[in-house]
Structure 1
Amino acid sequence: MRKTYKYRLAPNKTVENKLHWVLARCRELYNAGLSERKDAYRMVGKSITYYDQQNVLPEIKAKIREEYQDIAAHVLQDVLKRLDKAFQRFFDRCAKGQKPGYPRFQGRNRYNSFTYPDGAGWKLDQQTRPPDKKGMVRVNLKLTKIGTVKLHLHRDMIGKVKTLTIKREGEHWYACFSCEVDKPEALPSSYEDVGIDLGVTHFAALSNGEFLENPRHYRRAENKLKKLQESLSRKKRGSHRRAKAVKRVAKAHRKVRNQRADFAHKASRKLVNRYQVIVLEDLTMANLVKQPKPKQDEETGQYLPNGAAAKAGLNKSIADAGWSQFVGMCTYKAAWAGRTLVQVDPKYTSQICPNCGNVRKKTLEERWHSCTCGCELDRDTASAKVILGIGRKQLSVGTRPTRATA
């Protein structure tokens, strides 16, 4: 099994400039390899493979791009391997009849990492040091032909390191160690199961009547983001002030993203620690945030109101909740803890009575479930109970559920 440990780097100015330089050269090689593949197929109908490009890399370093000699060889090879993986995924999508998505050229704001694919080219100083005032332990990470950089070792790594990825996020740099680890021991068995209905009013309603409140991180930061974006729009393109304004906007968005991830981590951890079986809806986010189709009057040809403004606000709230991220974290945490995670069809789950099974259509404004059988409870709680019942039925009759996998 693989587990990735991510640590913040604290490079000095010299090393940081070198990291930017290496990243720029890797991006250039990626775009050059992509251009070569496109031109070869367009002009002579030939498909160039990873090995074709790798074999000529030493000649390129010796005669054409001598600056590549200042970059570790395995890093450059991994760049070509990354390009090859992009083409393999493109061919797989074509074979499956999906939208192909041909590999695209990478701009400087899109290509943000390079990888050491094995243990060569880097070394982590294992010398133990006392933690600082914030509880951080700093060790040295030595990168061949780049330099030595301080690393915030906020937790110990477990397992054997297989790859090291140096990643840029805004103005910060991180080291991501992918480790091969043994499967951990499962948590003690729990005798509680839960169904979860994800929503906007509450982030999640549990089948036992509890709620996870929606933090609405983006909504809370929206006014600040608006002012920063307005300030950015007033800056002259290409100016030094505009570059600073771009960094301020990126920093504000990064804070919202980190807050959302922090909430998802903590909420998923609490659920996995408490419940043995977790049942969620199998939601397709792309369908939930689709814009409504335009309505046109057949006689006059004029466009009629279609609720696009209201749907845009709902789409923003759905995206702010980060349901996909939360479900993904629940999935892998459940796999590591020995729990069972089931995803069920969400069809009619909000319309079915959890007590008698009667189906009654409700509008979105109707937030209270009331049935002729006497069942009275919150609409989202009722939906969570229905989801739990469907999940238990799948497990009992042997229908293969969507279980958590590592």
Structure 2
Amino acid sequence: MLKAYKYRMYPTKEQEEKFFQHFGACRFIYNWALEQKIKSYEQDGKSISRFDLNKGITILKRDGEHEWLKDVNSQSLQGATLNLDNAFTRFFREKRSFPKFKSKKNPVQAYNVPQNYKVDFENNKIYLPKIGNVKTILHRHYGDGDLKTATVSRTSTGKYYISILVDNGLETPKKSEFSENDTVGIDVGIKDFAITSNGNKIDNPKHLRNSMKRLKVLSKRLSRKQKGSKNRKKARQKIAKIHEKISNQRHDFQHKVSTKLISENQAVVLETLNVSGMLKNHNLAQHISDASWSSFVTKLEYKAEWYGKTILRIGQFEPSTKICNVCGYHNKNITLADRKWQCHDCGTSHDRDVNAAVNIKKFALNTQNLIGI
């Protein structure tokens, strides 16, 4: 089973320069390889393979104009072509967007180290090819697993991290059996972050909204700075630090909630949402982005794989909000403003979100033929 372990790095100034050299070289190779693929398809109607691109890297190094590529770890350069190959695979198989050229203006930079790096837990150092020993806070051990690809990254605030992919040799746990009693339905929202089928409501912390006033002040100051000046760079860094804090708060909150839900239940039921479509509503787009439902669902999915739990889904067009979970009456007149409503047939009073969570669970269990167990 593969797991990633992320550590903070503290490189020297010389090592930072080498990191920037690696970032730039891998970005150059990625853009060069993408250009070669596009030209090959336009001229010959065929796609050039990754192995041919790797041979082309060797030819580039012999060229006097690109001799600087010799100062960069060769396997990291080949990792850039692998990333491009994976991007095209996602484009064709998962219908993702067509691969785009990378820009050096992107505040987040990264490159891969496939092998030949060494981790020293005793001295808190990691040896990287062409870089040397970099001071790293190794706060947790990954055990006796096999080291796979490591990814070195730099955030927009100038912090360096390394993420090490480790194969611990363990097989993915088999899915545990589940029943109606140990299954929970979850309805995500804006007012409340998540509502469970057993009536629990998890408050939405709204990290972005809480920092919006400060962000507006700093953004106004940034707009007044002269372009290209050092003061403008400092102002941009202040904004980046706030966004990084918001991101850390959001991930911390979602990790705690997702771990609790996975540990307390054998199966979790979710509703498939068209988040990209919902973001087109400009009245709710900022609140939806702040909630970051997609990130939360991703955490639930991989933690369920780790612990042998099951994730069930229902279709996005299922009327979970408008159906009475007691008698099945369909209330067609309910609107987004109606937070509570009463069933016309059985007279049951419903909280809109709790009723939706109960129906999400029922729809999924009905599909699994588990209702009544």
Q: Same fold (TM over 0.5)?
A: yes
Deviation at 1:166, TM superposition (A): 0.7
Asked whether the equivalents of residues 368 and 379 of structure 1 are also in contact (C-alpha less than 8 Å), the reply is yes
Whether 1:109 and 2:105 are equivalent positions in the alignment is yes
Q: Alpha carbon RMSD of aligned pairs, Å?
A: 2.3
**Corresponding residue of 2:352:** 379
Residue by residue over 1:316-338, the C-alpha shift from the partner in whole angstroms, topping out at 9 and shown as x without a partner, is: 11111111111111111112212
Deviation at 1:45, TM superposition (A): 5.2
Asked whether the equivalents of residues 21 and 72 of structure 2 are also in contact (C-alpha less than 8 Å), the reply is no
Residue by residue over 1:263-285, the C-alpha shift from the partner in whole angstroms, topping out at 9 and shown as x without a partner, is: 11100000111112211111121
Aligned AA (1:395)? Q
**Corresponding residue of 1:133:** none
Residue by residue over 1:290-325, the C-alpha shift from the partner in whole angstroms, topping out at 9 and shown as x without a partner, is: 24xxxxxxxxxxxxxxxxxxxx23221111111111
Query: Helix, strand or coil for the counterpart of 2:147?
Result: strand
**Corresponding residue of 2:22:** 22
**Corresponding residue of 1:8:** 8
Asked whether the equivalents of residues 196 and 206 of structure 1 are also in contact (C-alpha less than 8 Å), the reply is yes
Whether 1:287 and 2:274 are equivalent positions in the alignment is no
**Corresponding residue of 1:142:** 127
Distance 1:366 1:225 in 2: 33
Aligned AA (1:340)? T
Asked whether the equivalents of residues 173 and 305 of structure 2 are also in contact (C-alpha less than 8 Å), the reply is no
Residue by residue over 1:214-256, the C-alpha shift from the partner in whole angstroms, topping out at 9 and shown as x without a partner, is: 0001110111111111111111111111112222212211111
The unaligned stretches of length 5 or more in structure 2 are none
Q: TM-score, normalised on structure 1?
A: 0.83
Distance 1:393 1:214 in 2: 30
Q: TM-score, normalised on structure 2?
A: 0.90
Asked whether the equivalents of residues 195 and 278 of structure 1 are also in contact (C-alpha less than 8 Å), the reply is yes
Asked whether the equivalents of residues 90 and 103 of structure 1 are also in contact (C-alpha less than 8 Å), the reply is yes
**Corresponding residue of 1:173:** 160
**Corresponding residue of 2:53:** 53
Distance 1:25 1:184 in 2: 37
Distance 1:45 1:273 in 2: 51
**Corresponding residue of 2:81:** 80
Asked whether the equivalents of residues 15 and 148 of structure 1 are also in contact (C-alpha less than 8 Å), the reply is no
Distance 2:268 2:130 in 1: 48
Distance 2:283 2:176 in 1: 43
Deviation at 1:391, TM superposition (A): 1.5
**Corresponding residue of 1:401:** none
Asked whether the equivalents of residues 23 and 113 of structure 1 are also in contact (C-alpha less than 8 Å), the reply is yes
Q: Structure 2 residue aligned with 1:256, among 246, 253, 258?
A: 246
Aligned AA (1:374)? G
Distance 1:91 1:285 in 2: 21
- Identity among equivalent pairs (%): 36
**Corresponding residue of 1:271:** 261
- The correspondence of residues 6-405 of structure 1 with structure 2, limited to 5 A, is 6-43=6-43, 47-64=47-64, 65-92=66-93, 98=95, 101-110=97-106, 112-117=109-114, 119-120=115-116, 122-127=117-122, 139-158=124-143, 159-170=145-156, 171-181=158-168, 182-183=170-171, 191-291=181-281, 312-346=282-316, 347-361=318-332, 362-372=334-344, 373-396=346-369
Deviation at 1:33, TM superposition (A): 2.4
Distance 1:142 1:19 in 2: 13
Aligned AA (1:75)? S
Asked whether the equivalents of residues 8 and 162 of structure 2 are also in contact (C-alpha less than 8 Å), the reply is yes
Deviation at 1:102, TM superposition (A): 3.2
Distance 2:55 2:175 in 1: 49
Asked whether the equivalents of residues 187 and 273 of structure 1 are also in contact (C-alpha less than 8 Å), the reply is no
Deviation at 1:154, TM superposition (A): 1.9
Query: Helix, strand or coil for the counterpart of 1:396?
Result: coil
Distance 1:278 1:35 in 2: 44
Asked whether the equivalents of residues 198 and 323 of structure 1 are also in contact (C-alpha less than 8 Å), the reply is yes
- Comparing 222-231 with 59-68, greater Cα deviation is found at 59-68
Distance 1:91 1:389 in 2: 35
Distance 2:78 2:360 in 1: 48
Distance 1:194 1:397 in 2: 13
- Comparing 155-164 with 27-36, greater Cα deviation is found at 27-36
Distance 1:276 1:46 in 2: 48
Shift of the 349–176 alpha-carbon distance from structure 1 to 2, 3 Å rule, reads same
Distance 1:335 1:85 in 2: 22
Shift of the 290–66 alpha-carbon distance from structure 1 to 2, 3 Å rule, reads same
Deviation at 1:189, TM superposition (A): 8.0
Deviation at 1:27, TM superposition (A): 1.2
The unaligned stretches of length 5 or more in structure 1 are 130-138, 292-311, 399-406
Count of aligned positions: 361
Deviation at 1:44, TM superposition (A): 5.6
**Corresponding residue of 1:305:** none
Shift of the 339–83 alpha-carbon distance from structure 1 to 2, 3 Å rule, reads closer
Shift of the 219–148 alpha-carbon distance from structure 1 to 2, 3 Å rule, reads same
